[in-house]
Chain A
Amino acid sequence: NAGVTQTPKFQVLKTGQSMTLQCAQDMNHEYMSWYRQDPGMGLRLIHYSVGAGITDQGEVPNGYNVSRSTTEDFPLRLLSAAPSQTSVYFCASSRTQNTGELFFGEGSRLTVL
């Protein structure tokens, strides 16, 4: 029962470095998304995908890229890390874009120095 799997769980970067947060789901879900969670704020949508080959921007997309080459995987790329990107990142998926239930991974905690 893997569900939504995120790696790495923890990462420390220096300003300007790039990295990719991995997200994989084994539930054959069409819809996948990335959120960031910051103290005192609700989860904010970064990017989302309604199916393989289709991605779109969320509320806070700047500084992040995504791609969706397979149904299972939805990696989030930080092109040039900034301290403002220090956050906890969550990947979430649902069966389709119209299905209400959204399931989350365990999160990736990123610190940018």
Chain B
Amino acid sequence: GQQLNQSPQSMFIQEGEDVSMNCTSSSIFNTWLWYKQEPGEGPVLLIALYKAGELTSNGRLTAQFGITRKDSFLNISASIPSDVGIYFCAGRVTSGTYKYIFGTGTRLKVLA
């Protein structure tokens, strides 16, 4: 099935550094969602984006809906150890279907 290309696959960073990750697709989306998942838990919704060019923040997290509607970006500023986890993007196609396509995730590790 169709999947989003999410990059990078993993990141090791020092505490205090900023983090950037992105998702790209060959399909146009009308919604982008960003999730964080910790071991043994379900994905937790971080940010939802609904319009091309939209920039939305949630604390130290900022996400953008790409103007081509085929990509999205997530930035984490001043990372802390509890940011560790897997970050997923999800895109919803514009064809009227009620289905989301999920990225394979970016595994983030923060070194104190």
Contacts and interface: CB of A to CB of B under 8 A. Distances in A.
B42 to A, nearest CB: 4
B33 interface: yes
A26 B103 CA distance: 28
Interface string A63-81: 0000000000000000000
Interface residues of A, number: 25
Interface in A1-56: 4, 31, 35, 40-45, 48, 50
Contacts of B48: 100-101
A31 B44 CA distance: 17
B102 A43 contact: yes
The size bracket of the interface on B is 20 to 34
Interface in B34-48: 35, 40-45, 48
B105 A42 contact: yes
B103 A42 contact: yes
A40 B104 contact: yes
Given A90-B43, A104-B44, A42 B31 contact: no
Interface of A: 4, 31, 35, 40-45, 48, 50, 58-60, 90, 97-98, 100-107
24 contacts: A41-B3, A41-B104, A42-B102, A42-B103, A42-B104, A42-B105, A43-B88, A43-B90, A43-B100, A44-B1, A58-B99, A90-B43, A98-B98, A100-B48, A100-B50, A100-B92, A102-B45, A103-B45, A104-B35, A104-B44, A105-B42, A106-B40, A106-B41, A107-B40
Interface of B: 1, 3-4, 31, 33, 35, 40-45, 48, 50, 88, 90, 92, 98-105
